[in-house]
């Protein structure tokens, strides 16, 4: 749709009005304030037009990881909302942000200290509403990194139009490997981190939950860890309406053990692989890393190596780079992939890293052609001995109607 299309212009105007009416009070980051929030070292391409930075560089501080908010069951009396209604999108955004704000406060953080937002929308037009909220909320130099993905909304009594989880800095110190857990949040200790690629098994859905978690546990054990070090699980699920059932199955699996913070994203997958789960955990500094390198790329014995992603990545770095969801400019699949990876390379270099120090990637593609192009083009950019831990999900949409790929990337300085 053309940016000058009257329908699009009318929607954007309505979105701006709706978001302004429901906006949270502005943070203490006025336009003249150049001070960065606690623990944030630098921002790359802070853009007042979108309310986002292309990347955010974080120092050696604890990081709060939250659950996904906007997932509570809605009252049965609520009529099914129109997916692109800016008023409803803004209402659901405000509700999700209010839940997030309360949990961040309990965990020792705040909206002002958010490093990265991950938004799941039920319509691509929701991105305009979120951008207006970001612009009104982050009015100074500092703006967080942000990514978007689109889910379907199969049941209006199950899903909100906007869901969100976040990563934020925290002032209060934690022990080097002590994961501090709260209701709906967990704190990743500074410096030593482990990222495990999306794992899956070929089983019916509910059987695959335990099987996938067992496989992740094997990887944890290979690097000397157990579930007490886990911080966050990201679950790719089909169909998304079964998320609550899967969550109950996961709680049964963990039993009396604390269940890691969990985020759900809808994906399109073969019936034989209905679920995939990736993991973020704290890492023990005394295990491995005898050469004291910033990043270790690990293949556990029960997994095969790949030249485009690593099964697990252990990080020993005092700084972390969170990259916003990027998009390629061309319209064709290969052009988008190549342009996106070129932009990624420039972004991490501006932040002090390079493509040999990528540590965790989630690629969101909306069609098979783009998925294939990503597989073919990644080897042109990545060192086959040092690819990031990664998941690739075919999703309903990338947050922009005309774009077929975006990503969620974490890197470290070289």
Extents of the domains making up the chain: 6-411
Reported as a single tens digit per residue, the pLDDT across 35-89 is: 899 999 999 999 999 999 999 999 999 999 999 998 765 555 455 667 778 898 9
Say what the pLDDT of residue 17 is: 54
> What letter would DSSP give residue 319?
-
The predicted-structure confidence for 119-177, as pLDDT tens digits, reads as follows 999 889 999 999 999 999 999 999 999 999 998 765 544 467 899 999 999 999 988 88
Query: Which bin fits 131, alpha (ψ -120 to 50), beta or left (φ > 0)?
Result: alpha
pLDDT bracket for residue 12 (50, 70, 90): very low
Q: Percent of the chain at pLDDT above 90?
A: 74
pLDDT at 191: 85
pLDDT of 342 strictly over 80:
yes
Asked whether residue 2 carries a pLDDT value surpassing 50, the answer given is no
Residue 240: predicted pLDDT: 86
pLDDT at 4: 42
Average pLDDT of span 288-316:
88
Cα distances (angstroms) measured from residue 85 to each of 17, 393, 397? 12, 27, 18
Q: For residues 127 and 14, which has the higher predicted lDDT (pLDDT)?
A: 127
Per-residue pLDDT, 154: 57
Nearest CA-CA partner of 43 in 111, 117, 115, 113: 115
- Under DSSP, the state recorded for 75 is P
Q: What pLDDT band is residue 400 in, cutting at 50, 70 and 90?
A: very high
Sorting pLDDT into bands at 50, 70 and 90, what band is 220? Answer: very high
Location of structure tokens 């990222």 = 195
Check residue 323 and give its pLDDT.
98
pTM for this prediction: 0.91
The pLDDT of residue 18 is above 90: no
Q: Which residue has the higher pLDDT, 241 or 30?
A: 241
Q: Where are the alpha helices (DSSP H) in 225-367?
A: 243-254, 333-350
Nearest-CA neighbor of 331 among 282, 275, 413, 401?
A: 401
């Amino acid at each position: 749709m053309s940016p000058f299309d009257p329908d699009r212009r009318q929607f954007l105007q309505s979105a701006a009005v709706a978001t302004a009416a429901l906006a949270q009070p502005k943070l203490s980051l006025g336009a003249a304030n150049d001070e960065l929030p606690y623990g944030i070292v630098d921002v790359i391409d802070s853009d007042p037009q979108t309310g986002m930075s292309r990347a955010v560089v974080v120092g050696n501080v604890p990081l709060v990881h939250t659950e996904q908010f906007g997932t509570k069951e809605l009252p049965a009396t609520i009529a099914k909302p129109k997916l692109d209604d800016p008023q409803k999108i803004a209402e659901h955004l405000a509700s999700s942000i209010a839940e997030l704000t309360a949990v961040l406060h309990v965990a020792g953080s705040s909206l002002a200290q958010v490093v990265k937002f991950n938004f799941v929308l039920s319509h691509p037009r929701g991105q305009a509403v979120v951008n207006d909220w970001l612009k009104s909320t982050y009015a100074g130099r500092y703006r967080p990194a942000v990514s978007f993905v689109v889910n379907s909304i199969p049941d209006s009594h199950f899903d909100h139009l906007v869901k969100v989880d976040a990563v934020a800095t925290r002032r209060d110190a934690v022990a080097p490997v002590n994961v501090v857990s709260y209701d709906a949040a967990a704190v990743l200790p500074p410096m030593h981190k482990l990222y495990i690629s999306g794992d899956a098994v070929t089983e019916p859905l509910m059987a695959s939950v335990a099987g996938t978690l067992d496989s992740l546990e094997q990887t944890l054990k290979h690097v000397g860890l157990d579930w007490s070090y886990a911080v966050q699980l990201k679950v790719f699920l089909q169909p998304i309406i079964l998320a609550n059932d899967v969550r109950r199955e996961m709680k049964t699996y963990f039993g009396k053990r604390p269940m890691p913070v969990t985020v759900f994203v809808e994906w399109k997958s073969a019936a034989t692989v209905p679920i995939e789960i990736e993991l973020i955990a704290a890492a023990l500094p005394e295990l491995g890393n005898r050469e004291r390198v910033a990043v270790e790329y690990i293949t556990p014995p029960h997994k095969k190596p790949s030249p485009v992603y690593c099964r697990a990545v252990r990080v020993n770095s005092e700084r972390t780079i969170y990259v916003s969801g990027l998009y390629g400019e061309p319209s064709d699949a290969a052009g988008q992939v190549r342009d996106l990876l070129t932009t990624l390379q420039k972004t991490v270099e501006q932040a002090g890293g390079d493509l040999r120090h990528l540590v965790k990637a989630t690629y969101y593609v909306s069609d098979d052609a783009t998925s294939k192009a990503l597989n073919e083009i990644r080897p042109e950019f990545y060192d086959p001995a040092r690819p990031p831990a990664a998941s690739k999900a075919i999703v309903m949409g990338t947050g922009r109607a005309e774009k077929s790929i975006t990503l969620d990337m974490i890197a470290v300085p070289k």
